[in-house]
Amino acid sequence: MSELFLKTLREDPADAEVASHKLLVRAGYVRRVSPGIYSWLPLGLKVLRKVEQIVREEMDAAGAQEVLLPALLPREPYEKTNRWEEYGANLFRLQDRRQNDYLLAPTHEEMFTLAVKDMYSSYRDLPVILYQIQTKYRDEARPRAGLIRTREFLMKDAYSFDVEDAGLAHAYEVMRAAYQKIFTRLGLPFVICSATSGAMGGSRSEEFLFPCAIGEDTFVSSPGGYAANTEAVTTPELPACDFSRVPAQILVDTPEATTIEALVEVANKCCPRSDRPWEAADTLKNVALAAIHPDGEREVIVVGVPGDREVDIKRLEANMAPLELEMASTEDLEKHPELVPGYIGPEVLGPNSPARQQDENGQPVGSVRYFLDAHIAPGSAWISGGNAHEKHLFYTVYGRDFTADATVEAVVVEEGDAAPDGSGPLSIERGIEIGHIFQLGRKYSKSLDLTVLDKDGKPAVVTMGSYGIGVSRVLAALAEQNHDEKGLIWPAEIAPAAVYIIAAGKNPEVAAAAEKIAAELSARGLEVIYDDRTKVSAGVKFNDFELLGIPYGIVVGRGLAQGEVELRIRQSGASQNVAYTEICDYLCAELQN
């Protein structure tokens, strides 16, 4: 410890909000350089490399081969796959001295595709799975939670290449099983959830989530075994409503109905129903959003949702990739005078608008695109905006009085919603994404012309899978799971050392005995931290042992006079006296168990 490049802190860093961030900084594992960028110090790097090694061993065991590709990449391949623009503001772009465009890689689909194209030309060369463990870069708008959301991070990304879809399905299951082994070895609980593919593209997609209250991902599960990220939840198809007895829509004055609650109150006074009172669920809330295209263009769209539900912009965004969404601004709405804030109705939207036309390619133009949430059933009747101040339409029916450009999954998933597979009501949890696997299909191989000759000598487009693990994020997840109020508690397989030896007191015999134990355990192949510091108290040494999270501590102190040392177990907090002459044998036996 007197030589180790380490400085522990007693107070939490001011910018740290979650336990892993606080403890990794306090214990001297990492140091912040700037928002979302961290330096790895000796003990942190040891843990990171051990996590990395477990990932590597299981990938190798699954038949994958390791490579290492550059992080600084040329623009051209990303243009061919449209991701130079589709990635939007999250992509770090730069130029060299000759004004050639480059990027810092967020993922490596293009480079792996080109590597295989360069090397292979026949079906006999395939299948193959390649992987790397390498630094990635994303210009996160809001880096947070220490290592959980950063701009620079360590990732394991793997890619499978097959001629036929059956081969892709097999590779996907092989990688899925390898991920289960990796997280099981790490002792990290996980839930496998259906997910969206987003900018990655492809068909089947699943996330491995570590259930954790501070996680950014929200996922659902049902009693029958359904599990999905909320972004991937689909609403069971609703049966069409019989609207044969629904009155014709009417425009009603609704003074001061500026909220859904106020609208319901006004509706029950001025236009009461005969069967039951109007409720928030009877109102159609039309929300104006700004859809930001990859080239930066802002398009106003409107999404209709039941008045008792809220729009989930993140979920909607995931299903409308590569668009980014935010609430429409005053400036956005000023460009569309037909949209009356607070009173937007379907009559001026999408295919209902008199301004709707088609361009030379048959695409709709001239009106704001209109999307309806999947909870809006065909034939259902609503109260909606009347497109004039303090006016609402009553009994406006979807399919009779208005339609939409498309149906989308737009609302916040709520506890008790029905699982799409009929397996029961959904419960909601939060988690940290630690792995993600995709069946990419032929998106990238088509764009980059990756073909091989098949058995008949004809060109066949290769099909691909993509499989990622956030290695540095996994370390943060492990820290979230393995700590107490005193500090970190690392599992033995990834701890930076197996044992922390404390020389308690200034007696030369104590120091000599502690040093002898350290030397013998090191000779037996154990990683040892020996706290030989003479100018700090025993209390400080005990605190650092607990903060650093080393699995075992050996205290050499006053008990040495009776031929004993104290063995402390960080996980349980238990301690026991062991004969000084037997401590090395005893600890080695404990570690083997």
pTM of the model: 0.87
User: Tens of pLDDT along 30-53?
Assistant: 999 999 999 999 999 999 999 999
What does the pLDDT average to over 22-37? 96
The confidence band for 198, taking pLDDT boundaries of 50, 70 and 90, is low
What gap in Å lies between CA 17 and CA 37, rounded to an integer? 16
The letter for the amino acid at 182 is I
What gap in Å lies between CA 204 and CA 190, rounded to an integer? 19
What gap in Å lies between CA 108 and CA 223, rounded to an integer? 38
Highest mean pLDDT among 268-277, 316-325, 392-401, 499-508: 392-401
Phi, psi of 446 (to 5 degrees): -70, -45
DSSP states along 262-324: HHHHHHHHHS--SSS---GGGEEEEEEEEEE-TTS-EEEEEEEEETTS-B-HHHHHHTTTT-E
The confidence band for 197, taking pLDDT boundaries of 50, 70 and 90, is low
What does the pLDDT average to over 154-161? 98
Q: Of 142, 227, 232, 225, nearest to 192 (Cα)?
A: 227
Beta strands in 350-426 (DSSP E): 357-358, 364-365, 369-373, 381-385, 391-397, 406-408
- Confidence at residue 202, expressed as pLDDT on a 0 to 100 scale: 57
The confidence band for 364, taking pLDDT boundaries of 50, 70 and 90, is confident
What gap in Å lies between CA 532 and CA 528, rounded to an integer? 12
Q: What percent of the chain has pLDDT over 90?
A: 89
What does the pLDDT average to over 239-250? 96
> Encoding tokens for residue 79?
């243009």
Report whether 439 contacts 203 (CB < 8 A): yes
